[in-house]
Structure 1
């Protein structure tokens, strides 16, 4: 071994000290970010940890709207943490981390951030158990000027998008941090408590109360976790392939009740068809909930929730196809940023077109051409960009309709074989995770072997009515001499209007 001079050793020692100081400084515990960096919702999600499981155990009293209980969060730190945030707006009684009491306070800016400070810093890659005990009346809690919790005459609904968890359980509330769930809710005997996944059991621990225990075994985004409490008519059966099938109906739907059942009870049939288009159904259970307490529908994982208004004119399997298509596009594969909403709504809207053709009520090409021909160049449909609509237009009709037209243009450009291979591959590659629009474009180009950036730029990211036709700037939707309204167009239009009307973010 070659010996260094004293001066050389001093330089080495200095270098080592500098390196150690730098390493120490970089490893110093720091506060986790109050958001994941989503431009549409700066406080959505949190930095510094990943959640693997939520165990939510609650008691709810409909008469007073009092929700109380405990959520236990299993997570792993992704940095050295001096503190971290949970997205939550209810009054908190206590927080424990690995059984040790932790300090906590609500962010004073009313943005739904609960700041938690452990008794001692948490090391990177440390497994942690966070227990939050709380009690509050969610309908009185306002975050960013908004209340997602919906109090009804006989219960409540925790159903909304892009946020709803902040009103009933603390979470890392962004689709990029998905987890499994156990949701257990005790309610009075005269009401039911519906949620996601499989109904493991119902139990009675005291007179007059029943506890409903639900389990979701596949990764699930926080906004897709739902709770519906009310005097529902609950049906339990199994699908033809043996999955639990739970549906629930609000008796207050009145004259629309039978139409709702005639639609939602067909869910297994619709999912069977969608499986031929998108690949195997991705979850362990199926079902649906119909309520008079909301006027939109949400693709809650395994159990979509429908406003009774969707069935006021009769059966509406179009909305059932839409929300169940989300089980593939939005639920199994979640968006990476909320600006990627086209990956959810454009695809679910196109599924309505596919179901229409299956029912003999108009092909996707006919529906797409009719929408295109019916909207003049100055129509607002062409002014919102489906690929980046802005938070204020996230649920604009353009995201649904122009978004679906984008897929029809893609299908025309690449052919049926490549088109459906793209859809199935997308789900297979990203199931259980999240992805973004550029990744979809890259996949479409790879599978089709065609340059498609111009097509997507025109349909998703450029204002104005795209030119179509053999000599147009983009691929034709189809060749048609005049607009012809397929049978199903009116119902699809009604579905989209109701889907978009309640979302004013």
Structure 2
């Protein structure tokens, strides 16, 4: 007979989870928001999600989505109740196997009250049965679900999960995902990560997708429709899957000519940012009227309009760069959007430099010189632009200027060490603008607060020396006008993709 010895500390910890609190006052509701100053209703407090298992059925003709979501989480406080973000109709909720009371509040809050309180540190399993038409859901006046002639898609920023599954919809709460979707035979369901399997029975085809690395809920995507699909494998063994709506019209060729270079772009970006952080690559283009693109994890969404004027690999560079800057390392709060967009834009400048179509410095000189001091562009502060300007062009272009100023300040060797080290040190985590400033100072050994304050936090056009260049750099000697790099039109085409609503 063996006796298992339990250390006193471990025994005390175990008993603490089982202990009955002295009074109900020990249990309190989780917050109805994650505390984001830009989007107070986004996300929730009191728990941390580790995994979403979504089993869905979608009918393209009626836009009816039926789902059962199983959510694995851990209570981060003694909880009397907690919220999930969801805009669809709920028929049943279970917490740890037992039916729980629930009610709706506002546009997206599903308030859940379990039969008994949940102790801090305890494992929680939540099952939600729900249904509805995602296109009819409006949260904060907009929709993240788009109908297409043959189906529908979920892709939006800063929130998109609440239109198709219950979640803690804030980038700070990342989780792994299993997404299983049943659609009428002849249609396809595209999501993130790796397609594990598919099977057809009684006129329905089920697609099973898996994302095995932490993923922010807004980066989860679903596209149902009829697609032409291409597959491949990278030299490192990663599966590549691209999907194109069968009805892209005149944009079809340009879309393929751009997105089929995803593997090439990712391999090049690995030389700049380090090892690719996820288990799959790809992209998809549905037949939608909108004009934005989004870095949905492992499989970015692209509007057909992104290729209306021909192929544009620069757009693909932007969205794949986000896999490091935005997806693997995500914002701490939405005011920190520069740690996503400034770097994705700068990656386009680096691609231009690689392709011999204008160096990053030439692009910086052009952007700087082409915006007069009284242009409202300079009044937007990329380090904290405000919710109304979160996707303003200044966050992208002035944000990239900040990185060029940093490059000029610390030199190429240190600069690229920072670019590669940051997503390695912060892999699968979250970070603020201030965190990046501290990291750059640590790696460079230089005080950089004034530089970043000038470019990210002060309204007004910085002086030319702040960029590390003379006031006449980048100008034609004969006319004094900015010199436009060859790559600029392709890069500027990304500007039309900024409006995510």
- Give the TM bin, normalised by the shorter chain: over 0.9
- Contact 2:55-2:179 within 8 A present in 1 as well: yes
Aligned to 1:96: 94
- Residue 263 of structure 1 pairs with residue 258 of structure 2: yes
Aligned to 2:54: 56
Q: Deviations over 1:450-479 (max 9, x none)?
A: 11111101100111111123xxx4533893
- Compared CA separation, residues 369 and 477, structure 1 to 2 (3 A): farther
For normalisation by structure 2, the TM-score amounts to 0.93
Where do residues 159-174 of structure 1 align in structure 2 (5 Å cutoff)? Answer: 159-174=155-170
Aligned to 1:284: 279
Q: Aligned-pair distance for 1:69?
A: 1.6
Where do residues 320-469 of structure 1 align in structure 2 (5 Å cutoff)? Answer: 320-469=316-465
- Residue 314 of structure 1 pairs with residue 313 of structure 2: no
Q: Aligned-pair distance for 1:446?
A: 1.2
Q: Where does structure 1 lack aligned partners over 5 or more consecutive residues?
A: 1-22
Q: Aligned-pair distance for 1:248?
A: 0.3
- Residue 480 of structure 1 pairs with residue 480 of structure 2: no
Q: Deviations over 1:177-216 (max 9, x none)?
A: 1000000111112211100000001112x32210111000
Q: Distance in 1 between matches of 2:245 and 2:423?
A: 33
- Contact 2:378-2:460 within 8 A present in 1 as well: yes
- Contact 2:408-2:467 within 8 A present in 1 as well: no
For normalisation by structure 1, the TM-score amounts to 0.92
Aligned to 1:5: none
- Contact 1:71-1:131 within 8 A present in 2 as well: yes
Q: Deviations over 1:251-299 (max 9, x none)?
A: 2211211111111011010001111011111111000001231311000
Aligned to 1:422, the other structure's residue is in SS state: helix
- Contact 1:409-1:477 within 8 A present in 2 as well: no
Q: Aligned-pair distance for 1:25?
A: 6.8
Aligned to 1:81, the other structure's residue is in SS state: coil
- Residue 147 of structure 1 pairs with residue 140 of structure 2: no
Q: Aligned-pair distance for 1:24?
A: 4.7
Q: Distance in 1 between matches of 2:442 and 2:470?
A: 22
Aligned to 1:163, the other structure's residue is in SS state: coil
Q: Distance in 2 between matches of 1:481 and 1:96?
A: 66
- Compared CA separation, residues 186 and 378, structure 1 to 2 (3 A): same
Q: Deviations over 1:343-393 (max 9, x none)?
A: 000100000001111111111111111111111111121011100010111
RMSD across aligned C-alpha pairs, in angstroms? Answer: 1.4
Q: Distance in 1 between matches of 2:246 and 2:352?
A: 29
Q: Deviations over 1:370-429 (max 9, x none)?
A: 111111111121011100010111001111111111111111111111111111111111
Q: Distance in 1 between matches of 2:24 and 2:92?
A: 31
Q: Distance in 2 between matches of 1:401 and 1:477?
A: 19
Q: Distance in 2 between matches of 1:448 and 1:79?
A: 39
Q: Where does structure 2 lack aligned partners over 5 or more consecutive residues?
A: 1-20, 477-481
Aligned to 1:18: none
Aligned to 2:490: 491
Q: Which has the higher mean CA deviation after the structures are superposed, 140-149 or 175-184?
A: 140-149
Aligned to 2:38, the other structure's residue is in SS state: coil
Q: Aligned-pair distance for 1:145?
A: 1.8
Aligned to 2:172, the other structure's residue is in SS state: coil
Aligned to 2:500: 503
Q: Aligned-pair distance for 1:330?
A: 0.3
Q: Deviations over 1:56-91 (max 9, x none)?
A: 110000000000020100001011100000011100
Q: Distance in 2 between matches of 1:283 and 1:148?
A: 24
- Contact 2:324-2:423 within 8 A present in 1 as well: yes
Aligned to 1:126: 122
- Compared CA separation, residues 27 and 125, structure 1 to 2 (3 A): farther
Where do residues 97-112 of structure 1 align in structure 2 (5 Å cutoff)? Answer: 97-107=95-105, 109-110=106-107, 112=108
Aligned to 1:238: 233
- Contact 1:259-1:311 within 8 A present in 2 as well: yes
Q: Distance in 2 between matches of 1:475 and 1:445?
A: 18
Q: Aligned-pair distance for 1:163?
A: 0.4
- Compared CA separation, residues 355 and 101, structure 1 to 2 (3 A): same
Aligned to 1:389, the other structure's residue is in SS state: coil
Q: Distance in 2 between matches of 1:61 and 1:334?
A: 33
Aligned to 1:6: none
**Partner of residue 218 from structure 1, selected from 213, 219, 226:** 213
Query: Which one has the largest radius of gyration?
Result: 1
Aligned to 1:30, the other structure's residue is in SS state: coil
Q: Distance in 2 between matches of 1:332 and 1:252?
A: 33
Q: Aligned-pair distance for 1:244?
A: 0.4
Q: Distance in 2 between matches of 1:180 and 1:447?
A: 31
Aligned to 1:31, the other structure's residue is in SS state: coil
- Contact 1:365-1:477 within 8 A present in 2 as well: no
Q: Which has the higher mean CA deviation after the structures are superposed, 416-425 or 61-70?
A: 416-425
Aligned to 2:14: none
- Compared CA separation, residues 55 and 25, structure 1 to 2 (3 A): same
Aligned to 2:256, the other structure's residue is in SS state: helix
Aligned to 1:119, the other structure's residue is in SS state: coil
Q: Distance in 1 between matches of 2:221 and 2:238?
A: 20
- Contact 2:366-2:474 within 8 A present in 1 as well: no
Q: Aligned-pair distance for 1:29?
A: 0.4
- Contact 1:77-1:125 within 8 A present in 2 as well: yes
Moved over 6 A (4+): none
